[in-house]
Structure 1
Amino acid sequence: MSRVWDIPVHDSTRVRDVHVAAESASARAGLGPHRTAVATLVATELATNLLKHAGGGRIVINLVERAPVGAYAHGPSVQLVSLDHGPGIADVTVALRDGYTTAAASLGAGLGTCLRISNDFDLHSAPGRGTVAVARIDHEPASRHVRPDQRPTGPRAGGVNVSLARAEYSGDAWSWVRSGTQVTLMLADGLGHGAKAAEASGAATEELRCAAHLSPAEILKRLHARLRPTRGAAVAVAQLDADAEQLCFAGVGNIGARLHTADGWKPLLSHPGIVGAHYPATVPVHRVPWRPDSLLVLHSDGLPSRWTPPNDTLLLARDPAVVAAAVLRDAGSDARPVRDDTSLAVLAPDDRT
């Protein structure tokens, strides 16, 4: 089930809450003492930055899986997401220098140190709009001696998941798997919210690991059988064949999908129904070209229906989780409070392109 830690940071007492949440997430992920210390340091530094530079913000902590190959899955990583509507960072290059900090109450680590000690770290900042930063902490430190030609290649995926009213569990879940040249991204929204909804979406992510070799339509049929004992879920499956440069998409229920290309954004429509309960007789499969500038966003119905897709080319080139978090931040407001669990998953091309 999708465990979520969502902490508003608007005063100094919340920095301690973020530290405790990072410890809890690390324990749940099975991180050892050293990697737990890394996670808490990065989390605390991000929270401190929110207070000192942005006038407050929000830290969201999820457990995310590295893309498993077939049924094999690595242990989860702790993903720390910082979101704010502050003034933005004037000079990102300077801010990312190791040890650079302007906050008197900072640990002295700075964003540069967060970049160095995290397995993944990326951020996007725009003047007057705020900053989104994402860090992931794995079980082992990242190797600093990997040549560029030894880096993992291929499409990338990332996402963010928040629960209604900051509940312990979200009824949404997303996952991705690799099989040969194919990458499959799935997002599931368990019917309703709470533990029972999380049970349904969690069953979908477990089953996906055993179905990576199947087509989107076959995956949905398999998920329908797997989810019968649960209350069911809305599910969308996007499968990218990098060699064929083609994206196949199929969805059942109210999962939204937007595809970005050089011509702009276009929707990919899901079919009405509930996987595990009311499965349609036929499910349309959309096949569209995938180009080096393509990007796919899947989202549950917790996101406001009239959200505006971003057109900031600098943002779209960032880590997929940064893109997802920026969409989440910009789509919500006090005037449009979230009325359900909300998750976004983003599929992006190989970052070498």
Structure 2
Amino acid sequence: MWDIPVHDSTRIRDVHVATESASARAGLGPHRTAVAALVATELATNLLKHAGGGRIVINLVERAPAAGAVARPPSVQLLSLDHGPGIADVTVALRDGHTTAASLGAGLGTCLRTANDFDLHSIPGRGTVAVARIGHEPASARVRPGQHPPAPRAGAVNVPLSRAEYSGDAWSWVRSGTQVTLMLADGLGHGERAATASGTAVEELRCVAHLTPLDILRHLHTKLRPTRGAAVAVAQVDMAAEQLCFAGVGNIGARLHTADTWQPLLSQPGIVGAHRMATVPVQRVPWRPDSLLILHSDGLPARWTPPEDPLLSTRDPAVVAAAVLRDAGSDARPLLDDASVAVLASDVRT
């Protein structure tokens, strides 16, 4: 994971180099690596020119595998976050070739065209969040809205404390029949050992996503015993039954938005794998076409404000996650722990 503040021109090269490193980790070929570097450089340049600075967060992400399937090679995810003036006309800004005189000449339209996934959300006076994912296949192979069966979408952002090499947080989501399971894990403490605990939870989820959230937690409790343990929350949407089932242990926050109302989902205190697991309550609530679920680790302040923009739920879930992370902290109020936000959204797109 790479978290790069962009407040002067020297940082643009840092973003470029970090993107090349991430591409190498993901196993991208030379052409897709060059595309990733171009997109990252354009996003960083825009932060300086139009927002007075911001940050680029780079993660490796996987598309949701089927339960029991071998994970596919990851993509490079680039997130751009700023508290700048925002974009007055997003449609014009995303037009291919639209640029300013001193930019690369690529423009956000080129990012939209060359990335496998690209989305942007901006509010004048509040700032802009953009996400781009670059994978192994060309952008022409992307699956567009309307070309696949409706299903929940998921996305996340994960930022280590103080830009450390490891984050103790990890997330994953898996499809199994008519069910989609989203999990967020926060390894106890910080650093490599915390990352081992949360990473173990991610690996195990691929094998047990067909189970109920409670049974998944019981399985993880056994598998995480050799590790430090982790706080874990599991949310499972049954698309056929239109129901969300949630169970959690530890300090993972959860809020569900449906019909203009935010509802907290509560976890049981404890650490999965480290202590005897008490009875864990299971919550079942309806999952509607406008539902939006946000899970977050305790790196976010306890009293963060959910986004109020009704159009945000139609954006890429990683954009929603990044907007929550951006608005929860600032340079004057830095985050005090590894911070991750995972979002599950209905398949409603614009």
Q: Does 1:99 find its partner at 2:97? A: yes
Distance 1:78 1:220 in 2: 29
**Structure 1 residue 338, shift from structure 2 partner:** 1.2
Which residue pairs with 2:75 in the alignment? 77
Matched position secondary structure for 2:208: coil
Indicate if the aligned counterparts of 2:183 and 2:235 stay in contact, CA closer than 8 A. Answer: yes
Deviates more, 1:108-117 or 1:309-318: 309-318
Q: Identity, % of aligned pairs?
A: 83
Tell me the equivalent position of 1:268. 265
SS in 1 for 2:154: strand
Q: Does residue 12 of structure 1 match 2:14?
A: no
CA distance in 1, matches of 2:87, 2:144: 30
Letter in 2 for 1:141: P
Query: Shift of the alpha carbon at 1:351?
Result: 2.2
Q: Which residue of 2 aligns with 1:88?
A: 86
Partners of 2:80 and 2:261 in 1: CA distance: 28
Matched residue type, 1:209: R
Cα distance in 2 for partners of 1:315, 1:147 equals: 19
Letter in 1 for 2:120: L
Kindly tell me: are residues 37 and 187 of structure 1, through their superposed partners in 2, closer, same or farther at Cα, counting changes over 3 Å? same
Alignment check: 8 A CA contact 1:52 1:103 kept: no
Q: What do the CA deviations read for 1:160-219 (whole angstroms, capped 9, x no partner)?
A: 000000001100000000000100000000001111100100000000000111100010
Instruction: Tell me the distance in 1 between the aligned counterparts of 2:349 and 2:144.
Output: 14
Q: Distance in 2 between matches of 1:292 and 1:86?
A: 32
Deviation at 1:264, TM superposition (A): 1.0
**Is structure 2 residue 187 aligned with structure 1 residue 190?**
yes
> Is the aligned partner of 1:302 residue 2:299?
yes
Aligned residue in 2 for 1:40:
37
Residues 330, 291 of structure 1: alpha-carbon distance in 2 compared, 3 angstrom cutoff: same
Shift of 1:300: 0.1
Aligned residue in 1 for 2:343: 346
Partner secondary structure for residue 2 of structure 2: strand
> What do the CA deviations read for 1:227-266 (whole angstroms, capped 9, x no partner)?
1110000000000001100000000000000000114101
Q: Does 1:249 align with 2:269?
A: no
Do the aligned partners of residues 96 and 210 (structure 1) sit closer, same or farther apart at CA in structure 2, a change above 3 Å counting?
same
In structure 2, stretches of 5+ residues that fail to align are: none
Q: Does 1:131 align with 2:100?
A: no
Amino acid at match of 1:345: A
Q: Which amino acid aligns with 2:13?
A: R
> CA offsets per residue over residues 28-65 of structure 1, 9 Å max, x none?
01111111111100000000000011111000000111
Q: Which range moves more in the overlay, 143-152 or 240-249?
A: 143-152
Structure 1 CA distance, aligned partners of 2:142 and 2:65? 23
Question: Which aligned segments of 4 or more residues in structure 1 are displaced greater than 4 angstroms?
Answer: 144-149
Contact map agreement 1:297 1:344 (CA 8 A) in 2: yes
Q: Does 1:331 align with 2:297?
A: no
The 1:299/1:46 distance shift into structure 2, 3 A limit, reads same
- SS of equivalent to 2:140: coil
* Contact 2:113/2:139 (<8 A) preserved: no
Structure 1 residues 63 and 147, CA gap change in structure 2 (3 angstroms)? closer
Contact 2:168 2:186 in 1 (8 A): yes
- Measure how far apart 1:152 and its partner are: 5.5
- Aligned equivalents of 1:264, 1:152: Cα separation in 2: 27
Partner Cα separation in structure 2 for residue 118 and residue 81 of structure 1: 13
| Root-mean-square deviation (Å) | 1.4
Secondary structure in 1 aligned to 2:331? Answer: coil
Aligned partner of residue 132 in structure 2, secondary structure: strand
1:313 aligns with 2:307: no
Alpha-carbon distance in 2 for matches of 1:145, 1:200? 33
Cα pair distance change 1:84/1:152, threshold 3 Å: farther
State the AA in 2 paired with 1:77.
Answer: S
1:78–1:147 Cα change, 3 Å: closer
Contact in 1 for aligned 2:145/2:349 (Cα 8 Å): no
Q: Aligned equivalents of 2:289 and 2:142: distance in 1?
A: 28
Secondary structure of residue in 1 paired with 2:136:
coil
Deviation at 1:145, TM superposition (A): 8.6
Q: Which residue type is aligned with residue 74 of structure 2?
A: P
For the residue of structure 2 that corresponds to 1:153, the secondary structure is coil
Q: Would you say the 8 A contact 1:172–1:187 is kept in 2?
A: yes
Q: How many residues align?
A: 349
**Residues 1:152 and 1:194: Cα distance change in structure 2 (over 3 Å):** farther
Q: Which amino acid in the other structure matches residue 111 of structure 2?
A: C
1:281 alignment partner in structure 2: 278
Distance change >3 Å, CA 285–CA 146, structure 1 → 2: closer
